[in-house]
């Protein structure tokens, strides 16, 4: 017997979704218990970047390429090469809610937890039902790599955000295939743009996985007797949305790739060391937190997770048994679609083991992933999807056995997640993210290995020259007054991360320097007329020969051919996307028969209530 859905409200109201949100917030309990953020390896870098973006917003520059305060105040094109949507979102939070950097980071983490649970639930709901999707969401949000490594030990906020966005992309991509309409088309397009602008490395990996999954599903549909009678235009529209989304993000990736030689991007490549590999035994090992109160080392935490791989294994085994016995699901590709994630998980696990080193050596582009263990992110996606198949089995168990099994399936991922979280005993409650603090920081470029340092600049510059200016606060006058001829003056009129304006008065022509590293795009103008700009010798500052007289000097970061081309491609792609969305709206394609999902059975609901009572009794 199924719970009756009456009234139009039930078309939009999903009580299981509310449960997913509540349990995702429960996974974020360690975050909610404290006042700060976890002191991870990269936490300081990202807090500085959050502050850098917020200062750009405060100056009216909402899409900056230049990070003014990095590298002792001389600046670098950090936001040109590193996906910065994460910092745009935190700046928006700071602008609307008047938050500081740590508070914005906390809100960001909370949003990531919610997106992990909700996104995975929505993705798996059509194929495995609401119960299986709930299990998938809990498996994903409580996975060690997301929950513990990225959010806590590493403090890798952009990667965590990208991993939380990925199941949302898969959900909408699947929805576009099942129900082609303009809304789904535009959502997929925008989600692809967001993913690419969220985290460089994750975007390449996850976009590739999405394309491969779409291609696999199209092939399976053509071979599946139950599915090959359906309209195949959904796959075409989904492929178009992915392609146009990639093109719409060209304003970021094209100039970043084209101009990669203008900075020390080679430092981005890590030499793969022995502890960067994970053996199969290490990946499937039971976490030390279950039998010890000692905090394990970082590399001991790089594992799939006991709940993740056991639930995935049980889901695959149960689904295979049901398929052999002739049981079919509402979704004709629920079983065969899982084959993709089984194969992908085996492939990714192999790529993390030392036995795959010959592949990493042969494909040098893989080194941009930096660490083989970074593949744990997409492996976790695979585990969550495969774990959702347990919902197909649980719904067919006898009443009493099913009741206990459902309660156990909901409780175990949460228990495993909190067992890991209990070892986190530190909080990062106060952080000086001022420009002055960054200029004197151990990592003044807000990176570990001096990435994005302009290739024409020198690290032998006077690193304390701008400290007095930053001590006094904004604006900082970066004109080198020591080069002014006798009787000359340079008065600062305006200053922002990407432009500076001075009023110059000089009786003679002179050579001038602005204490900002030169990089392609920096331009100078005298009363609106451009003057040539070159990197100074030997330090690579912005330099120009200025005329005598009284005039206004403006130095600003302009465009380049690569940036113009990227912006043009993005604009054309967005126009094409809107045109295709309008065309799709006019077609009014009918949704596939399995686009809607039945509600929970009474037995499933009782199992959820038992799980909720168990969680409350154990943790509250």
When pLDDT is averaged across residues 366-375 and rounded to a whole number, the result is 86
For residue 385, pLDDT over 50 is answered with yes
For residue 491, pLDDT over 60 is answered with yes
Three-state secondary structure string covering 545-557 = EECCEEEEEEEEE
When pLDDT is averaged across residues 487-508 and rounded to a whole number, the result is 94
Of residues 18 and 536, the one with the higher pLDDT is 536
Q: Compute CA distances 47 → 100, 108, 377, whole Å.
A: 10, 12, 23
Q: What is the rounded CA–CA span in Å between residue 52 and residue 45?
A: 11
Q: Tell how far CA 305 is from the center of its chain.
A: 21
When pLDDT is averaged across residues 16-44 and rounded to a whole number, the result is 81
pLDDT value at position 5? 40
Going by pLDDT thresholds of 50, 70 and 90, the confidence category of residue 456 is very high
Q: Which helix (H) or strand (E) holds 257?
A: helix 250-258
pLDDT value at position 6? 40
- Average model confidence (pLDDT) across the chain: 85
For residue 602, pLDDT over 70 is answered with no
C-alpha torsion sign, points 162, 27, 431, 494: positive
Cis peptide before 604 (omega within 30 of 0): no
CA geometry: angle 562, 565, 567, nearest 5 deg: 110
pLDDT value at position 231? 59
For residue 291, pLDDT over 60 is answered with no
pLDDT value at position 618? 61
Q: What is the rounded CA–CA span in Å between residue 18 and residue 315?
A: 24
Asked if residue 166 lies in contact with residue 385, where contact means CB atoms within 8 angstroms, the answer is: no
When pLDDT is averaged across residues 301-327 and rounded to a whole number, the result is 89
pLDDT value at position 4? 40
> Which DSSP letter does residue 515 get?
E
pLDDT value at position 397? 80
Q: Work out the number of other CB atoms within 10 angstroms of the CB of residue 619.
A: 12
Out of 62-66, 291-295, 302-306, 392-396, least confident range: 291-295
C-alpha torsion sign, points 421, 162, 238, 122: positive
Q: What is the rounded CA–CA span in Å between residue 534 and residue 40?
A: 40
The pLDDT tens digits of the residues spanning 129-151 come to: 888 999 999 999 999 898 888 88
Going by pLDDT thresholds of 50, 70 and 90, the confidence category of residue 25 is confident
The pLDDT tens digits of the residues spanning 74-88 come to: 999 999 999 999 999
> Which DSSP letter does residue 148 get?
I
Going by pLDDT thresholds of 50, 70 and 90, the confidence category of residue 603 is low
Out of 258-262, 291-295, 352-356, least confident range: 291-295
Q: Work out the number of other CB atoms within 10 angstroms of the CB of residue 582.
A: 11
When pLDDT is averaged across residues 222-241 and rounded to a whole number, the result is 73
Going by pLDDT thresholds of 50, 70 and 90, the confidence category of residue 11 is low
pLDDT value at position 613? 67
Q: Work out the number of other CB atoms within 10 angstroms of the CB of residue 297.
A: 11
Highest mean pLDDT out of 10-24, 223-237, 298-312: 298-312
Half-sphere exposure of 408 (CA within 13 A, CB side): 11
Q: In sequence order, which residues have a C-beta less than 8 Å from that of residue 473 and are 6 or more positions away?
A: none
For residue 190, pLDDT over 70 is answered with yes
Q: Which helix (H) or strand (E) holds 277?
A: none
Highest mean pLDDT out of 11-20, 123-132, 297-306, 380-389: 380-389
User: What structural domains does the chain harbor?
Assistant: 31-431+566-619 (no CATH), 477-558 (2.60.40)
CA geometry: angle 539, 543, 546, nearest 5 deg: 155
Which among 282, 261, 314, 302 is positioned nearest to 135, based on CA atoms?
Answer: 314
- pTM given for the model: 0.91
Going by pLDDT thresholds of 50, 70 and 90, the confidence category of residue 437 is confident
pLDDT value at position 589? 62
- Give the three-state DSSP class for 146: helix
pLDDT value at position 31? 73
Going by pLDDT thresholds of 50, 70 and 90, the confidence category of residue 593 is low
pLDDT value at position 157? 93
pLDDT value at position 404? 81
Tell me the two tokens of residue 451: 């990435």
Q: pLDDT > 70: what percent of the chain?
A: 85
379-388 residues labelled b (16+ CB within 10 A) or e (exposed): bbbbbbbbbb
Going by pLDDT thresholds of 50, 70 and 90, the confidence category of residue 295 is low
Which among 468, 446, 450 is positioned nearest to 459, based on CA atoms?
Answer: 450
Q: What is the rounded CA–CA span in Å between residue 254 and residue 559?
A: 13
């Amino acid at each position: 017997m199924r719970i009756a859905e009456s009234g139009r409200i039930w078309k939009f109201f999903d009580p299981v979704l509310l449960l997913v949100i509540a349990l995702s917030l429960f996974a974020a309990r360690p975050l909610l218990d404290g006042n700060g953020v976890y002191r991870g390896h990269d936490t300081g870098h990202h807090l500085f970047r959050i502050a850098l973006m917020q200062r750009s917003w405060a100056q009216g520059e909402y899409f900056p390429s230049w990070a003014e305060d990095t590298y002792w105040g001389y600046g670098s094109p950090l936001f040109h090469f590193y996906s910065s949507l994460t910092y745009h979102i935190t700046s928006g939070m700071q602008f609307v809610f008047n938050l500081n950097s740590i508070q914005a980071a906390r809100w960001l983490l909370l949003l990531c937890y919610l997106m992990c649970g909700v996104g995975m639930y929505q993705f798996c709901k059509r194929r495995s039902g609401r119960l299986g999707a709930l299990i998938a969401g809990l498996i994903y949000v409580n996975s060690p790599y997301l929950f513990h490594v990225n959010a806590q030990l590493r403090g890798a906020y952009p990667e965590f955000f990208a991993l939380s966005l990925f199941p949302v992309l898969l959900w909408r991509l699947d929805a576009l295939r099942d129900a082609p309409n303009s809304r789904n088309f535009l959502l997929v397009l925008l989600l692809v743009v967001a993913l690419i602008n969220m985290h460089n490395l994750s975007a390449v990996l996850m976009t590739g996985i999405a394309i491969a999954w779409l291609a696999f599903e199209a092939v399976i549909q053509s071979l599946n007797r139950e599915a090959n009678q359906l309209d195949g235009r959904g796959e075409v529209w989904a492929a178009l949305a992915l392609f146009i989304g990639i093109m719409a993000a060209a304003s970021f990736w094209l100039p970043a790739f084209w101009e990669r030689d203008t900075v020390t991007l080679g430092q981005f490549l890590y030499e793969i060391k022995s502890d960067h590999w994970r053996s199969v035994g290490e990946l499937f090992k039971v976490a030390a937190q279950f039998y010890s109160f000692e905090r394990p080392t970082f590399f001991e935490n790089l594992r799939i997770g006991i709940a993740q791989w056991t639930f995935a294994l049980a889901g695959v085994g149960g689904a295979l048994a049901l398929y052999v016995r002739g049981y079919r699901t509402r979704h004709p590709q629920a079983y065969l679609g899982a084959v993709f994630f089984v194969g992908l998980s085996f492939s990714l696990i192999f790529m993390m083991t030392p036995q795959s080193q010959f592949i990493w050596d042969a494909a040098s582009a893989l080194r941009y992933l930096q660490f083989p263990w970074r593949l744990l992110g997409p492996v976790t996606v695979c585990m969550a999807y495969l774990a959702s198949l347990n919902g197909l089995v649980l719904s067919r168990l006898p009443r009493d056995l099913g009741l206990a099994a459902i309660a156990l399936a909901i409780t175990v991922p949460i228990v495993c997640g909190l067992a890991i979280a209990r070892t986190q005993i530190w909080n990062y409650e106060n952080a000086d993210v001022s420009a002055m603090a960054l200029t004197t920081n151990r990592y003044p470029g807000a990176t570990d290995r001096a990435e994005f340092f302009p290739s024409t600049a020198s690290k032998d510059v006077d690193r304390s020259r701008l400290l007095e200016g930053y001590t006094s606060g904004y604006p900082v006058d970066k004109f080198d007054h020591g080069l002014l001829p006798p009787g000359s003056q340079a008065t600062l009129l305006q200053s922002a991360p990407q432009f500076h304006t001075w009023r110059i008065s000089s009786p003679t022509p002179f050579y001038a320097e602005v204490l900002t590293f030169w990089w392609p795009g920096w331009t100078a103008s005298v009363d609106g007329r451009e003057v040539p700009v070159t990197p100074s010798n030997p330090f690579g500052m912005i330099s120009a020969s200025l005329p005598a007289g009284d005039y206004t000097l403006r130095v600003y970061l302009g465009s380049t051919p690569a940036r113009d081309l990227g912006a043009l491609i993005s604009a054309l792609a967005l126009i094409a996307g809107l045109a295709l969305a309008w065309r799709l709206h006019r077609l009014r394609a009918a949704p596939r028969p399995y686009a809607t999902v039945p509600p929970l059975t009474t037995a499933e609901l009782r199992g959820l209530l038992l799980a909720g009572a168990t969680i409350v009794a154990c943790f509250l």
